[in-house]
Structure 1
């Protein structure tokens, strides 16, 4: 069974957009973007190593660089020479690593609620999530996850959806060791020394009310990348592409169209 999906565009010969999810790692995270993107672009989305259809043991030294190598392998397997890379949080770090080491494979880079290097607040959030996982187990970890993803009022209005996501997240839980290694990889990542040398057209997208990754981290990231476009929405939280899909899709398409 393949761990990646290819959605051919309605437009023949359309450029490819490669979608890379965050810590959850699943291609399905991008469902709110598929229809809008497919009208103009070919889409490739994949389950990251250790997650979804790509479940397997990860080495102790698993890294963002290894995840970037996996993204390149997906590009090769789907006959994608160059792609617009769109990454959410951890997925955005994968894109940054590609922009540093393989800029010739990218048409553009979009980082959604990502960072150059995790700072104290984000580290505290992940440390608390790991403590919850250790002492209360996967069910408590999965139940707490929406608090870090969604605005409080959105979550209250979408309780049924959150319950469905919780059940799905628990049934497909990536495993304690896998999760710990993936979190260790994202916390160890630091692209700061390389940002001034990036030349890939870049969009830094963020939400002002993200409680996991403060918008200031996106502001710092955009300021460090020459020519980067910064777009900060006032509302939408960490999973802004889910909570504000129409607005997010419009901003993303505007950037991709200019960068194609």
Structure 2
């Protein structure tokens, strides 16, 4: 585990693979950490420099007050991390909250990005804000257990919730969520109250792949289509039997998607 001081905080990160290779930065969903993309890091780390990190206020990164956990600040953290590690222009991979960050970076910091692959995310306001606020209140006062089932419904697709072949994934995510303390409510509050970036999408000039899960209860496929419709040159990939946590629920297909995308880039390192 490595730690780095950037943008007024301390971030935990993992930096693997050849240092002179094209860098792939992986940004997790709310509640998750660097482990979210471990399957993809293992598959790509022989040819690409893979950097995974924990958001400010989550995982092993430094805690902070609620007002410093907004999406703009998290995006500035990611940019500062990339600059501090001297990664050059990267492919940014983000899920949900990581996708919020990726959209902002693609629109605002094209100097840092070659491309972006964004899964289970939205550029719009939070349509489930009332439900999120209720969850945040309970989480802050009573911890995760009273809302655990609800969070699992947000996160997991129907297949993962019911198919015995994915019982290990469900167990892993359940255990991770049970480890999350009431302070996570501060980060979750910003999901409900984030500002939309729909009006910034038209200015994105880097290739963007938007990935939708057919069983995503949080940001269903129309949210991904909305991003694609407003982003020049963006492409949509739909994954069947996949909920909100693509990299864990459908790790093989996510890895194959990243392999294909990276191979299509001029900066990709040939195998």
In the aligned structure 2, how far is the partner of 1:230 from the partner of 1:104? Answer: 23
**1:138 alignment counterpart:** 144
In the aligned structure 1, how far is the partner of 2:174 from the partner of 2:62? Answer: 19
Aligned positions, number: 255
Note the C-alpha offset of 1:148.
1.8
- Structure 1 residues 1-260: aligned runs within 5 Å: 2=3, 3-9=12-18, 13-60=20-67, 62-120=69-127, 122-133=128-139, 136-156=142-162, 157=164, 158-159=166-167, 161-171=169-179, 173-176=180-183, 178-185=184-191, 187-259=193-265, 260=267
Note the C-alpha offset of 1:39.
3.3
In the aligned structure 1, how far is the partner of 2:170 from the partner of 2:202? Answer: 40
Deviations 1:148-174 (A, max 9, x none): 222233233244553444334333x25
Change (3 A) 1:216 1:20: same
In the aligned structure 2, how far is the partner of 1:41 from the partner of 1:232? Answer: 25
Contact 1:64 1:186 in 2 (8 A): no
**SS in structure 2 of the partner of residue 162 of structure 1:** helix
Q: Which has the higher helix share?
A: 1
In the aligned structure 1, how far is the partner of 2:181 from the partner of 2:142? Answer: 16
Change (3 A) 1:38 1:250: same
In the aligned structure 2, how far is the partner of 1:152 from the partner of 1:232? Answer: 16
**SS in structure 2 of the partner of residue 188 of structure 1:** coil
In the aligned structure 2, how far is the partner of 1:17 from the partner of 1:70? Answer: 16
Change (3 A) 1:153 1:201: closer
**SS in structure 2 of the partner of residue 108 of structure 1:** strand
Note the C-alpha offset of 1:125.
4.3
Contact 1:90 1:186 in 2 (8 A): no
In the aligned structure 1, how far is the partner of 2:214 from the partner of 2:33? Answer: 25
Contact 2:66 2:186 in 1 (8 A): no
Select between 139-148 and 245-254 the one with higher mean Cα deviation: 139-148
TM-score by length of 1: 0.88
Change (3 A) 1:175 1:133: closer
